[in-house]
Amino acid sequence: MSHMADGDSLIEGTDEWTLVPLPAVIAARLSQPSYHIFSEQNVRGEIFNMHAGDRLDPIAFDGNLLLMPMSGSIGVTLNGVARTISAGSQILINPRITFSLEAIEACALELLWMPPFAKVTRANEGNET
């Protein structure tokens, strides 16, 4: 396992497993807007650190996406329907469902992308990212 930034030294792993002490890693990397905590053949784990009002414009992902706030609250709009999720909750977004995010308050949001590098399309432009 390679270590790229402060907080990564807290992550343990082998070819068989990865252990991420999320509260410690999140605290060590608060200054980074986003970072990967692992990326494997079938799943990629990423943390978004967002300030109140930060937004992710509408996108659609060609795989499953699991969103889990580790702290704070985030507004998720799925095909025009808005809901709020807070730390301790999670939401699974199925393939090709258009969604956007807006931080209601400062939050650390974990995203699990499955598969890790499926196509992401910006809904308002129809462009791949």
What is this structure's pTM?
0.83
Q: Is residue 2 assigned to a domain?
A: no
The number of distinct structural domains making up the chain is 1
* Per-residue model confidence (pLDDT) at position 123: 78
Q: Is residue 123 assigned to a domain?
A: no
Q: Is residue 126 assigned to a domain?
A: no
What is the distance between the alpha carbons of residues 118 and 58, in angstroms, rounded to a whole number? 16
* Per-residue model confidence (pLDDT) at position 127: 52
Report pLDDT digits (tens) over 60-112.
999 999 999 999 999 999 988 999 999 999 999 999 999 999 999 999 999 99
List the CATH number of the domain containing 97: 2.60.120.10
Instruction: Provide the pLDDT confidence category of residue 8 given band limits of 50, 70 and 90.
Output: confident
What DSSP assignment string belongs to 100-115? Answer: EEEESSSEEEEEEEES
* Whole-Å CA distances, 101 to 2, 3, 13, 42, 108: 30, 29, 31, 24, 13
Q: Is residue 129 assigned to a domain?
A: no
Q: Is residue 127 assigned to a domain?
A: no
Instruction: Provide the pLDDT confidence category of residue 14 given band limits of 50, 70 and 90.
Output: confident
- What is the C-alpha end-to-end distance of the chain, expressed in Å? 27
Residue 64 per-residue DSSP state = E
Residue 52 has pLDDT above 80, yes or no: yes
- Cβ count near 31 (within 10 Å): 8
* Per-residue model confidence (pLDDT) at position 9: 84
Q: What angle do CA 65, 12, 113 make, to 5 degrees?
A: 10
What is the distance between the alpha carbons of residues 120 and 99, in angstroms, rounded to a whole number? 11
Structural domain span for residue 64: 8-118
